[in-house]
């Protein structure tokens, strides 16, 4: 016979531990505050790449010449009334060095290309024209290149954060491969600058160029989040979370009994609070990715809880005379193998996501990792502990009612025994 683990002996300690962790999170929330992303607060997201200068390209011919660069190729398009319309493509990987690519550009009529740095570097290190096609003219246009090796890496996260921090409260996040030096810089709009949307992007660029040098910053993309949009997003996030909790409460009530439904909701609220406590103390930015992680864990946790509750209901039918705590321990023990296997395999997938990604996806994976552990813990020690407590209180009430003397009906005369 399989040994039954006495999980109920750990219920009180588990509840006290959870209360302590949640209290710790509340203290962090009160003292540190939550690190809201621009998703939930008005501001700017500027995607930048720190680079080296590579080529200066100009055009002195007739008609128009437009240059575009992607990750794999460069394209020159010539058009106009007095020029033959044609498109010339250059495969960067097959173009050799930057010096070779400059020669290939210069072989086109009217085009002049000059290497400014890294003549022997691969042409494939050329940075894409993120802002769209470039119309060439007599004034040269600067193209940039990425670092080729770790020895050329010059803009780490701490340096970028220090440089951008000179203009105000910013958060910096790395995206892509480390050596590519690509970052998201988030600057919040505190409402004091009426020209924030027009000046903030240039302020970020200037701060970075002051720290790393002119021509070392390429703006990949700029996103603005207005105050109205961020407020609507925050309101919708809370509504979505509340709707999720109420939907789970309704489902568990219909499928089981009210005590099971309340236990399930208590467990998922516990998981949400533990994740928020971790996010606060780890200073992870609270954005749509971390919100998605929390909602994902609510679904993961309720799934585990429903499995155990199903087994408890089945075992109670099979063992109607056994004490409830005995049935509870037996049910958790029987589902423990499934719970552990599910948790471990999911954690391995999330761990891979954390190791091999960066930026907001990495934050999502880290929050998910903590949430999965919390979800498994709450399923065994919070949801079932609440159901056990509810059942214990119900049994105490029955005993009290059974021990109470039977009340006399009004108007009933006492029965007198005849004297002997």
Place of tokens 């409460």: 249
Q: Span 359-386, mean pLDDT? A: 89
Helical pair 288-318 and 227-255, crossing angle rounded to 10 deg: 10
Q: Are residues 83 and 103 in the same domain?
A: yes
For 217, list phi and psi in degrees, rounded to 5: -120, 125
Q: How distant, in Å, are the alpha carbons of 47, 267, 297, 371 from that of 242? A: 33, 15, 14, 18
Q: Are residues 251 and 306 in the same domain?
A: yes
Q: Are residues 205 and 297 in the same domain?
A: no
Q: Span 258-286, mean pLDDT? A: 88
Share of the chain residues as helix, strand and coil, in percent rounded to the nearest 5: 55, 20, 25
Beta-bridge mates of residue 224: 44
pLDDT score of 77 more than 90: yes
Task: Give the CA-trace dihedral at 111, 117, 120, 125, to 10 degrees.
Answer: -80
Output the six-digit token pair for 329.
């321990």
Q: Domain range spanning residue 132?
A: 52-145
CATH of the domain at 179: 3.30.70
Q: Are residues 288 and 354 in the same domain?
A: yes
Distance from C-alpha of 186 to C-alpha of 189, rounded to nearest angstrom: 10
Confidence of residue 184 (pLDDT cuts 50, 70, 90): confident
pLDDT mean across residues, the chain: 85
Confidence of residue 341 (pLDDT cuts 50, 70, 90): very high
Look at residues 118, 145, 172 and tell me which one is the last residue of a structural domain.
145
Between 415 and 37, the more confident residue is: 37
Q: Are residues 242 and 284 in the same domain?
A: yes
The runs of H, that is alpha helices, within 32-144 are 98-106
Place of tokens 């159901």: 387
Distance from C-alpha of 355 to C-alpha of 109, rounded to nearest angstrom: 49
Between 226 and 178, the more confident residue is: 178
Q: Are residues 63 and 136 in the same domain?
A: yes
Residue 396 in contact with residue 324, Cβ under 8 Å?
Answer: no
Residue 377 in contact with residue 254, Cβ under 8 Å?
Answer: no
Q: Are residues 247 and 156 in the same domain?
A: no
Residue 391 lies in a domain: yes
Confidence of residue 245 (pLDDT cuts 50, 70, 90): confident
Q: Which pLDDT score, from 0 to 100, does residue 208 have?
A: 93
Q: Are residues 137 and 162 in the same domain?
A: no
Place of tokens 């060439």: 136
Q: Which pLDDT score, from 0 to 100, does residue 121 have?
A: 93
Count of beta carbons in the 10 Å neighbourhood of residue 253: 16
Confidence of residue 32 (pLDDT cuts 50, 70, 90): confident
Distance from C-alpha of 384 to C-alpha of 305, rounded to nearest angstrom: 8
Query: Could you tell me the pTM of the whole model?
Result: 0.63
Q: Are residues 130 and 183 in the same domain?
A: no
Distance from C-alpha of 187 to C-alpha of 39, rounded to nearest angstrom: 11
Distance from C-alpha of 383 to C-alpha of 259, rounded to nearest angstrom: 10
Count of beta carbons in the 10 Å neighbourhood of residue 161: 15
Confidence of residue 418 (pLDDT cuts 50, 70, 90): low
- SS3 state at 216: coil
- Rg of the chain (C-alpha set): 33
Q: How many domains does the chain have?
A: 3
Burial class (CB in 10 A: 0-12, 13-18, 19+), 401: exposed
């Amino acid at each position: 016979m399989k040994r039954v683990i006495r999980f109920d002996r750990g219920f009180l300690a588990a509840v006290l531990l959870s209360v302590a962790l949640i209290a710790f999170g509340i203290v962090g929330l009160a003292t540190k505050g939550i690190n809201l992303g621009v998703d939930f607060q008005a501001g700017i997201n500027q995607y930048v790449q720190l680079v080296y200068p590579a080529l200066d390209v100009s055009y002195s011919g007739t008609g128009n010449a437009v240059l575009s660069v992607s990750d794999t190729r460069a394209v020159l398009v010539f058009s106009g009334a007095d020029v033959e319309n044609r498109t010339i493509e250059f495969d960067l990987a097959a173009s050799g060095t930057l010096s070779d690519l400059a020669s290939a550009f210069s072989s086109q009529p009217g085009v002049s290309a000059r290497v400014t740095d890294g003549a022997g570097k691969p042409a494939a290190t050329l940075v894409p024209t993120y802002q769209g096609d470039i119309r060439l003219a007599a004034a040269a246009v600067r193209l940039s290149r990425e670092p080729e090796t770790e020895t050329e890496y010059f803009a780490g996260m701490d340096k970028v954060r220090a440089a951008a921090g000179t203009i105000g409260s910013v958060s910096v996040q790395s995206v892509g491969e480390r050596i590519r030096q690509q970052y998201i810089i988030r600057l919040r709009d505190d409402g004091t600058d009426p020209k924030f949307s027009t000046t903030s992007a240039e302020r970020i660029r200037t701060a970075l160029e002051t720290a790393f040098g002119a021509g070392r910053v390429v703006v990949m993309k700029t996103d603005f989040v207005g105050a109205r949009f961020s407020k609507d997003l925050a309101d919708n996030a809370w509504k979505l979370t509340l709707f999720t909790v109420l939907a789970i409460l309704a489902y568990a009530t219909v499928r089981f009994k009210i005590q099971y439904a309340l236990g399930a909701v208590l467990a998922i609220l516990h998981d949400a609070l533990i994740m928020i406590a971790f996010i606060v103390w780890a200073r992870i930015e609270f954005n749509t990715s971390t919100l998605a992680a929390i909602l994902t864990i609510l679904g993961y946790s309720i799934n585990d809880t429903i499995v155990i509750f199903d087994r408890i209901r089945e075992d109670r039918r099979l063992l109607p005379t056994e004490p409830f705590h005995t049935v509870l321990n037996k049910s958790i023990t029987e589902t423990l193998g499934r719970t552990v296997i599910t948790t471990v395999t999911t954690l391995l997938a999330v761990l891979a996501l954390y190791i091999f990604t960066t930026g907001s996806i990495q934050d999502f994976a880290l929050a998910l990792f903590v949430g999965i552990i919390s979800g498994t813990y709450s399923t065994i020690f919070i949801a079932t502990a609440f159901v056990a407590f509810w059942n214990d209180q119900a049994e105490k009430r029955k005993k009290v009612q059974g021990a109470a003397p039977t009340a006399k009906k009004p108007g009933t005369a006492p029965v007198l025994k005849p004297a002997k």
